[in-house]
Amino acid sequence: MKVLVIGPGGREHAIVRSLLADPNVSEVHAAPGNAGIGKLVPTYAIDGNDPDAVAALATKLGVDLVVVGPEAPLAAGVSDAVRAAGIPVFGPSKAAAQLEASKAFAKQVMAEAGVPTAMARVASTAEEAADALDTFGAPYVVKDDGLAAGKGVVVTNNRDEALAHAQSCFDAGGSVVIEEFLDGPEVSVFVLCDGRNTVALSPAQDFKRIFDNDEGPNTGGMGAYTPLEWAPEGLVQEVIERVAQPTVNEMAHRGTPFVGVLFVGLALTSRGTRVIEFNVRFGDPETQAVLARLKTPLGALLLAAAKGELDKAEELRWSRDTAVAVVVASENYPDTPRTGDRIRGLKKVDELEGVHVIHAGTKLDEEGKVVSAGGRVLAVVALGTDLVEARERAYDGVELVQLEGGQFRTDIGRKAARGEIKVMAPSTGTLPVTKTKA
């Protein structure tokens, strides 16, 4: 089968890489892609957010499946246009993508479906915001209601800062969702959905803040690892039964069935598992780590989801290895990233055992050299027999990457490797839960 992958980032590079390893897949095309994707498959310089342009390219190439990577094209209706052209597409409709595009919509669906999440209130004036902040108390959680690439959320103990973030969203013509603070470790679970059926991938953990020890502003994600040895037994089952299946049922009931990945962002709090957010696409950089372990052919799986046939798909098989992805970002990310710098050393990274480079914000300059072209530039992904070995290999790779002003976190997966992550049992609030491999 022939597949077209839409998107410019690391997630899409990882998807293309996995599709190329699927014996069912004869051709992969990508748009717009990046320098790393361009080395593997033909790329097309179209606007991936333009529904008509994507549908026209998919038709011209005669592909059997379109996989939409990022949220922006989904929210713009790219899937609808491709479906209308009669081509199966892995990615939700514009209507179903509201689960990510509007945090207020997501909260409504969660309430209808009985999904456990943080208590929340929508505010559109300074008065409403102040009232909601005082209802829930510190730490304060204020979220821009629209798409903000993971950067629209402020979590702070400072009430003035919380109010100022709300005001900046109001000034931009938007509204905010203000929530109770959720304690406990965060987990990302990707659930493949075909409108009816759900299949969960192996959980991963992401590192959202720019600096070590979770300091500094939120980013799109600075690294990830999987699986989570410390996760409570039955977590994936719980996510399917209490979160994903009820949500998929509710979306079908509303006449806007969900096809694609439901990305469930969870907090394992002292009061139980709570949904922090939904996204409607694979996570970046978690996907770089998760797909590195997936042995089931990806193309066949995504096609089954696109066609409503996940119940007939092959059962998932995973490598026993642990995968770690460490993001290298440009100077000044997540503010205004510096771009256009040469990136050297990537060949040497790819030569390391169990290590590969996934490109994100890269492009070829006029001389055909790889240069930085975005905030998150690339990820070094490593497999190892355990988290300690995978981390060592990933950081050996990162050390070989030469990028002026490049930044990376040194603590991706470190706490877990040291056994320092504790999940509090909801019943007692203090006892660590028994752990098994998730």
Chain positions contacting ligand AMP, by CB under 6 A = 118, 141, 143, 150, 153, 155, 179, 181-182, 186, 208, 218, 265, 276-277
* Amino acid, res. 91: G
The partner in contact with residue 193, picked from ligand AMP, ligand GLY, none with C-beta cut-offs of 5 to 8 angstroms by kind, is none
Neighbours of 186 (CB within 10 A): 16
The C-alpha atoms of residue 22 and residue 258 are separated, in whole angstroms, by 25
Neighbours of 16 (CB within 10 A): 25
CB of 145 or CB of 194, closer to ligand AMP: 145
For residue 209, the minimal CB distance to ligand AMP (Å) is 8
The partner in contact with residue 185, picked from ligand GLY, ligand AMP, none with C-beta cut-offs of 5 to 8 angstroms by kind, is none
For residue 75, the minimal CB distance to ligand AMP (Å) is 15
Token pair for residue 209?
């803040």
For residue 85, the minimal CB distance to ligand AMP (Å) is 32
The C-alpha atoms of residue 361 and residue 378 are separated, in whole angstroms, by 7
For residue 95, the minimal CB distance to ligand AMP (Å) is 21
State which residue has the least CB distance to ligand GLY.
Answer: 221
For residue 309, the minimal CB distance to ligand AMP (Å) is 31
- Residues 267-286 close enough to bind ligand GLY by CB under 6 A: 279, 283-284, 286
For residue 308, the minimal CB distance to ligand GLY (Å) is 25
Beta bridge partners of 30: 5, 43
Decide: 2 and 63 in contact? Cβ < 8 Å: yes
Query: Residues 204-233: x/- map of binding to ligand GLY (CB under 6 A)?
Result: --x-------------xx------------
The partner in contact with residue 401, picked from ligand AMP, ligand GLY, none with C-beta cut-offs of 5 to 8 angstroms by kind, is none
Token pair for residue 41?
């498959």
CB of 88 or CB of 285, closer to ligand GLY: 285
The position carrying tokens 């999940």 is 423
For residue 181, the minimal CB distance to ligand AMP (Å) is 4
Give the count of residues interacting with ligand GLY (CB under 6 A): 8
CB of 83 or CB of 281, closer to ligand GLY: 281
CB of 206 or CB of 341, closer to ligand GLY: 206
Q: Which of 284, 261, 291 is nearest to 208 (CA)?
A: 284
DSSP state of 237: H
The partner in contact with residue 218, picked from ligand AMP, ligand GLY, none with C-beta cut-offs of 5 to 8 angstroms by kind, is ligand AMP
The position carrying tokens 């509303």 is 254
The partner in contact with residue 29, picked from ligand GLY, ligand AMP, none with C-beta cut-offs of 5 to 8 angstroms by kind, is none
Q: Is 100 in the site for ligand GLY (CB under 6 A)?
A: no
- Torsion 97-103-108-111 (CA) sign: positive
Decide: 198 and 251 in contact? Cβ < 8 Å: no
Q: Please give the full DSSP string across 146-174, using - where no structure is assigned.
A: S--TT-SEEEES-HHHHHHHHHHHHHTT-
Neighbours of 353 (CB within 10 A): 9
CB of 214 or CB of 229, closer to ligand AMP: 214
The C-alpha atoms of residue 191 and residue 290 are separated, in whole angstroms, by 12
The C-alpha atoms of residue 13 and residue 380 are separated, in whole angstroms, by 12
Neighbours of 359 (CB within 10 A): 28
- Residues 114-153 close enough to bind ligand GLY by CB under 6 A: 150
For residue 277, the minimal CB distance to ligand GLY (Å) is 8
- Positions touching ligand GLY (CB under 6 A) are 150, 206, 220-221, 279, 283-284, 286
